[in-house]
Structure 1
C-alpha cells in the first residue's frame, strides 16, 4: 500500500478539427487562429467540416478507409517491440558497465591513494553536472522528456516550421505521413496550458512508476503507450468517419496514471484546486476511464477520448501482462545479445 499523497490535475489531448475561418490577408495569422480555435472546438461530430486554405501550407484531409490502418498497426507493433528491445539492451549495458567498474576497483589501500592522486588533477564539476548528479532517478527521466516537449513547443512558434509541424507533429489518419507523427505527436503541444498540465501530471505520477518499473522499463512503456494511444485515436476516427488531428502526451501519461492506480489502488489522490477532497486511486482510474468511454460513445470533441482510453488500457495491460510476460522474460533475448556482443568484441 502506498500511503503518500499525490497531487493530480486534469490533462488532455487536443482533438483538432477544422473550424470555418473568415478570410484574412495574413496566412500565418489564419493558421494561428485555425489552431487556437481548433483546440477549443466543441461542435457536434455530425456537423460538416470544411477544409480551409491555410496560406502557404494546408492540413491534409480525405476519406478515411479501414485499409489505411494496416501500416499504422504495423508501425505500432514495431515501435513497441523496438522500445522494449532497446530499453532491455540499455539496462544490460548499464549493468555490464557497473559490473566492469566494480571489478576494476583496486584494493582499499590503493584506492585511497588513487583517489588522492586523481583529486589533484581532476577539475571541479560544473554547475550542470552537480545539478544532474543531485537529481533523483525519476527526475533524470522526466527532465529529458520535459525538455523535448518544450523544444517542440518552441518549434510551433517558428512560422517557417509550421508546415512541417502540421504534417509530422499532428497525428492525422488522413495525412500522407501517418506513421512517424504517431510518435512525434506524443511530444507535441501547441497550447502552453496543455503543455503545463500534461507535464505536471507526468511529474506527479512518475516517482511511483519509475520506482516500480525502473527507468528503462518506464521509458519503454511510455514510448509504447504514446504510439498505441495514437493508434487508438486513428481507429476511432476511421470507424466513426470523423477526421481530425491530435497532439499531446496525454495518451502516454494516461498509461502512467493507470499503471500507478492499478499498482497502488489505495493511494490517496486529490485535485490541485480542491486539495481538501481526496479519493482512492483505484476508484479514480475507473471514473476517468468511464468519462473517456462516454466521450467515445457520445462523440465529445473537447478531448481526444479515444487516445485517453487507449493509453489507460495500455497501462493496465502493461501492469497485468506485459511487465511480467514480455519484460520479465527478456533474459532469453539478452543471452542472445550477450553472445553476439561477446563474439564481436573478441574479434
Structure 2
C-alpha cells in the first residue's frame, strides 16, 4: 500500500503513486466525503464533457495534483504522504464552477445556505492558497490547488486546444495498429 498507493516525492516509486494514490484514502469518512463531492459535480461535468473527456480530465488532474504536491513538499522540505481523490475532484469542481458560475450550490447539512458556484470556487481556492502560504496541515492544499488549476484551465483551453486536437493522433494510432495485424 505504501509503495504504490501513497504519493511521496522521496519514494522509490515516484511515478505510479502519482496516479494510484487517487484511489486510496485515509479513512472511510475521507472516502465518503470525496465520493459525495464527486457525485455532486460529476453529472454536470459528464453532461458537458462526455464520458471519455471526463475520465481524461479526472485522471490527468489526479497526476497533476500529485505532482503539485510533490513540488510543494520538495520546495518546503516537508515530509509526508499524500493520498486521496481530492485533487482530481477539485479539477472537476473547478471545471464545473468555471463553466456554470451562476449555478446555486448548498451545503448538505445547511440547505438554507446557498451561494453561486463562481463564489464557491473563489473561496475554496482562497482557503487552499492560505493553507499553502500559512503551512496548514489539515489537507494537501497544494494538491487541491493543482487540481483546481487543472479544472479551470480545462474549462478555458482544454476542449478547444487539447481534446479536439487528439483526433489526428488517434487516427494515426489506429492506422498504426491496423497495419501491424
> Where on the TM-score scale, by shorter chain, does this alignment land: which range?
over 0.9
- Greater Rg, structure 1 or structure 2? 1
Residues 1:282 and 2:105 are matched in the alignment: no
Cα-to-partner distance string for 1:225-244 (whole Å, 9 max, x where unaligned): 00100000010011111111
CA 1:166–1:344: 2 relative to 1, 3 Å: closer
Task: Please show how residues 50-129 of structure 1 align to structure 2 within 5 Å.
Answer: none
2:8 aligned residue: 172
Residues 1:189 and 2:25 are matched in the alignment: yes
2:127 aligned residue: 291
Aligned length: 181
Aligned-pair CA distance for 1:190: 2.5
Task: Please show how residues 158-169 of structure 1 align to structure 2 within 5 Å.
Answer: 165-169=1-5
CA 1:175–1:337: 2 relative to 1, 3 Å: closer
- The equivalent position to 2:169 in structure 1, one of 316, 333, 344, is 333
Higher relative CO (Cα under 8 Å, sequence separation at least 6) belongs to 1
1:234 aligned residue: 70
Aligned-pair CA distance for 1:247: 0.7
- The equivalent position to 2:142 in structure 1, one of 296, 306, 311, is 306
- Structure 2 CA distance for aligned equivalents of residues 259 and 171 of structure 1: 24
Q: Where do 5+ consecutive residues of structure 2 fail to align?
A: none
- Structure 1 CA distance for aligned equivalents of residues 11 and 178 of structure 2: 44
- Structure 1 CA distance for aligned equivalents of residues 140 and 151 of structure 2: 17
Residues 1:214 and 2:50 are matched in the alignment: yes
RMSD: 1.2
Aligned-pair CA distance for 1:332: 1.5
Aligned-pair CA distance for 1:304: 0.5
- Structure 2 CA distance for aligned equivalents of residues 169 and 332 of structure 1: 34
- Structure 2 CA distance for aligned equivalents of residues 272 and 244 of structure 1: 31
- The equivalent position to 1:270 in structure 2, one of 97, 100, 106, is 106
- Structure 2 CA distance for aligned equivalents of residues 330 and 299 of structure 1: 39
SS at match of 1:269: strand
TM-score by length of 2: 0.96
Residues 1:317 and 2:153 are matched in the alignment: yes
- Structure 2 CA distance for aligned equivalents of residues 177 and 333 of structure 1: 29
TM-score by length of 1: 0.51
1:201 aligned residue: 37
Aligned-pair CA distance for 1:175: 1.6
Aligned-pair CA distance for 1:216: 0.4
Q: Where do 5+ consecutive residues of structure 1 fail to align?
A: 1-164
- Structure 2 CA distance for aligned equivalents of residues 282 and 273 of structure 1: 21
Task: Please show how residues 35-54 of structure 1 align to structure 2 within 5 Å.
Answer: none
1:245 aligned residue: 81
Aligned-pair CA distance for 1:344: 4.4
Aligned-pair CA distance for 1:328: 1.1
